[in-house]
């Protein structure tokens, strides 16, 4: 996949030796062998097909981008050996695709662990109960505020890698990978690349923004991609900052659940 040209509602690009032209929900897929020619003139690219009387012209302000796309189309013409005909693909309307994605997510959750199943059951049961039992607009706000708190806590846990740190601390293996490769980017930030061999005999590579203070790293043997690089103050400072940005507000907002259960007003609302 390379250059994508946008002209109004039309998008055209090359993917897997095929030229794809999308307009709205309909995508016309043209195998490279079905392209008669692709010509660039100024700010226009004209695509002509072999079998169909179709001539498509797209405009772009950058002629170099059009030339790059034409080169990709010419490469698809030379390399396509499928002999497939031109076809059209119609995407589902977004409500249908969102509903399908939600159904797939719910199916994965219901087949997951007990905590995820309990969380989904709680959400499905608490929404109608909240609407039925709330005596005031302030009580009604307790549920969405608490939900926002749960989201903040989840975000904090994900960014702070709490699950990875817990798993690595509980069952991890410590190794000394030797001096890391250090690379400095254009902004002056350093990246440290560690290479080590795990218990399964495979070699692994890990890139971190921090240097190990003792020359060691710790990984999870069940999934060697879970790696913790021990540092000193920077790790603690980052955790404290993340906690006050998301963890503490998440705890405060989640407390609205308890206030709602005892009939008190959400403390976030005056």
CATH of the domain at 79: 2.30.29
- C-alpha–C-alpha distance, residues 174 and 221, integer Å: 10
SS3 190: strand
Q: Domain check: are 148 and 80 in the same one?
A: no
More confident residue, 98 or 173: 173
pLDDT for residue 146: 76
Burial of 247 (0-12, 13-18, 19+ CB in 10 A): buried
| Total number of domains in the chain | 3
Strand partners, 195: 205
User: Encoding tokens for residue 207?
Assistant: 């890139």
Instruction: Give the confidence band of 1 by pLDDT, cuts at 50, 70, 90.
Output: very low
Query: What is the CA angle 72-31-94, rounded to 5?
Result: 95
Measured between alpha carbons, how far is residue 226 from residues 171, 201, 222, 236 in Å?
11, 16, 9, 19
Are residues 189 and 229 located together in one domain of the fold?
yes
Do 146 and 178 lie in one domain? The reply is yes
Q: Are residues 116 and 166 in the same domain?
A: no
- What number is the average pLDDT over the span 48-76? 87
Per-residue pLDDT band for 18 (boundaries 50, 70, 90) equals very high
Asked if the model's pLDDT at residue 74 lies above 90, the reply is yes
Task: Report CA-CA distances (Å) from 138 to 126, 143, 180, 223.
Answer: 16, 10, 55, 46
At 270 the pLDDT is 39
Find the domain containing 47 and state its range.
5-90
65 shares its domain with 11: yes
51 shares a domain with 98: no
Per-residue confidence at 153, pLDDT binned at 50, 70, 90?
A: confident
Same domain, 58 and 112: no
**Does one domain contain both 245 and 122?**
no
Task: Give yes or no for residue 233 having a pLDDT over 60.
Answer: no
**Alpha carbon 52 to chain centroid distance?**
39
Q: Is 98 found in the same domain as 39? A: no
154 with 110, same domain?
no
Q: Are residues 78 and 103 in the same domain?
A: no
14 in the same domain as 56: yes
Mark which of 109, 133, 157 sits at the end of a domain.
Answer: 133
The per-residue pLDDT for 266 is: 58
Average pLDDT score, the chain? 80
Q: What is the pLDDT of residue 14?
A: 93
């Amino acid at each position: 996949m390379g250059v994508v040209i946008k002209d109004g509602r039309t998008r055209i690009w090359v993917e897997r030796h095929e030229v794809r032209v999308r307009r709205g929900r309909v995508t016309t897929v043209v195998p490279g062998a079905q392209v008669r020619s692709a010509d660039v003139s100024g700010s226009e690219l004209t695509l002509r097909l072999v079998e169909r009387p179709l001539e498509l012209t797209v405009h772009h302000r950058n002629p170099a981008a059009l030339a790059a796309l034409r080169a990709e189309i010419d490469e698809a013409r030379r390399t396509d050996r499928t002999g497939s005909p031109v076809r059209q693909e119609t995407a589902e309307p977004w409500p249908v695709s969102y509903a399908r994605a939600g159904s797939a997510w719910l199916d994965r959750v219901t087949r997951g662990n007990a905590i995820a199943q309990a969380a989904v059951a709680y959400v499905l049961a608490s929404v109608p109960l909240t609407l039925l039992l709330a005596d005031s607009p302030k009580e009604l706000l307790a549920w969405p505020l608490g939900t926002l708190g749960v989201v903040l806590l989840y975000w904090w846990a994900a960014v702070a890698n709490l699950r990875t740190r817990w798993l690595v601390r509980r069952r991890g293996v410590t190794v000394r990978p030797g001096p890391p490769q250090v690379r400095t980017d254009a902004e002056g930030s350093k990246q440290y690349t560690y290479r080590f061999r795990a218990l399964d005999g495979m070699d692994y590579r890990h890139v971190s923004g921090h240097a190990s203070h003792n020359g060691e790293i710790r990984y999870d043997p069940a999934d060697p991609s879970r790696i913790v690089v021990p540092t000193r103050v920077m790790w603690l400072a980052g955790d404290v900052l993340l906690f006050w940005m998301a963890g503490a507000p998440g705890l405060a907002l989640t407390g609205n659940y308890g206030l709602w259960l005892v009939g008190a007003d959400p403390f976030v609302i005056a």
